[in-house]
Chain A
């Protein structure tokens, strides 16, 4: 299991990069007590058989690591969403791409901490297999809200290739300044300790 929500995100966006996508679009939207994320890629996609097995932690296509029998990224994410009354959906078509969307109830006692959004965006934008990544980040609360958009191509046109520590530090500074702008709208989310687990899979069991 990962510690923070952004660790789960980092893990699964890498899948999109590794699927040979020329474009990955990430929506990262906090609205009230819910975090909604969507990762849409135009990579190689998965057939129905693979889709049915991809949440099984003991399934891996074995392409990256020949003898490995586990594939934990999506399985971890599904488990974490499920545990905190969130949602999870996966759509994929061979040759077209894959979209993973999920949400976390941030007021749920079992919701992981958010983690560091700036570090995660930095790691994703500078990932060696990332060709084009568009991130739409928003925060909306009772105090109002704001949105910013990051485009890898646009940032690379300004900074040059994201290869050296100096350039990456500048990029981090830029990302942090964008994220800082959202701070005035942030509201503390009180934990809802009395609510029963309302995740879809648990409802079926009841």
Chain B
């Protein structure tokens, strides 16, 4: 890849903007929050953040909000991420590796089904498997 200039980046941005407007929007208002505290980083939260962006790009979903936060208090099941999709319960997933991240995009964000074997908080504790199924 040749070194991109800011001007080239601006053009790519405009191109993308047009594509977004043309598409029927999937993943609208969905939010992914990655726990990026010391515990999260040590457990591999950075490759997980990368994977979310990669898979969303691959599926041509441009409008999911992806942000970082600190430790969510579940250090024992890091990396943890919170997924907020309108019309679905807010969920904190734990032990999220690269494969799970892909599954969360395909299953939770796109197919609107919870990834039950990695849920560690919310919805109610009685429907979460004891150790997240792992």
A residues with a Cβ closer than 8 A to B are 1-3, 6-7, 10-11, 14, 64-65, 72-73, 76, 115-116, 119-120, 122-123, 126-128, 148, 154-155, 158-160, 163-170, 172-174, 176-178, 180-181
* A168 near B53: Cβ-Cβ < 8 Å: yes
Question: Per a CB cutoff under 8 Å, which of A2, A128, A169, A172 touches B68?
Answer: A128
* B57 near A169: Cβ-Cβ < 8 Å: yes
Segment 1-58 of B: residues with Cβ below 8 Å from A: 1-4, 6, 9-10, 12-13, 16, 20, 27, 36, 38, 41-42, 44, 46-47, 49-50, 52-54, 56-57
Determine the chain A residues whose CB is within 8 A of the CB of B64 once the complex forms: 164-165
Determine the chain A residues whose CB is within 8 A of the CB of B16 once the complex forms: 166, 170
Determine the chain A residues whose CB is within 8 A of the CB of B10 once the complex forms: 158
CA distance A172 to B53 in the complex (A): 9
* B38 near A170: Cβ-Cβ < 8 Å: no
Q: Taking A123-B46, A158-B9 as contacts, is the C-beta distance between A73 and B38 under 8 angstroms? A: yes
CA distance A180 to B4 in the complex (A): 10
Determine the chain A residues whose CB is within 8 A of the CB of B2 once the complex forms: 177
Q: Taking A123-B49, A178-B3 as contacts, is the C-beta distance between A72 and B38 under 8 angstroms? A: yes
The answer, yes or no, to whether B116 is at the interface (CB within 8 Å) is no
Q: From residue A100, how far is it (CB to closest CB) to chain B in Å?
A: 15
CA distance A119 to B44 in the complex (A): 12
Q: Taking A64-B70, A128-B67 as contacts, is the C-beta distance between A169 and B56 under 8 angstroms? A: yes
Determine the chain B residues whose CB is within 8 A of the CB of A163 once the complex forms: 65, 67
CA distance A119 to B50 in the complex (A): 7
Determine the chain A residues whose CB is within 8 A of the CB of B88 once the complex forms: none
CA distance A19 to B12 in the complex (A): 34
* A120 near B65: Cβ-Cβ < 8 Å: no
Determine the chain B residues whose CB is within 8 A of the CB of A160 once the complex forms: 13
CA distance A110 to B57 in the complex (A): 36
Determine the chain B residues whose CB is within 8 A of the CB of A1 once the complex forms: 42
Determine the chain A residues whose CB is within 8 A of the CB of B50 once the complex forms: 116, 119, 122
Q: From residue A126, how far is it (CB to closest CB) to chain B in Å?
A: 7
Interface residues of chain A: helix, strand, loop or mixed (majority): helix
Q: From residue A201, how far is it (CB to closest CB) to chain B in Å?
A: 22
Determine the chain A residues whose CB is within 8 A of the CB of B56 once the complex forms: 165-166, 169
In the A-B complex, the 10 residue pairs with the smallest Cβ-Cβ separation, listed nearest first, are A166-B62, A177-B4, A165-B56, A169-B57, A165-B64, A181-B3, A177-B1, A72-B38, A158-B10, A7-B41
Determine the chain B residues whose CB is within 8 A of the CB of A158 once the complex forms: 6, 9-10, 13
Which of B50, B53, B69 is packed against the most chain A CB atoms within 10 Å?
B53
Question: Per a CB cutoff under 8 Å, which of B4, B42, B54, B57 touches A178?
Answer: B4
Q: From residue B110, how far is it (CB to closest CB) to chain A in Å?
A: 13
Which of A76, A122, A169, A181 is packed against the most chain B CB atoms within 10 Å?
A169
Determine the chain B residues whose CB is within 8 A of the CB of A172 once the complex forms: 53
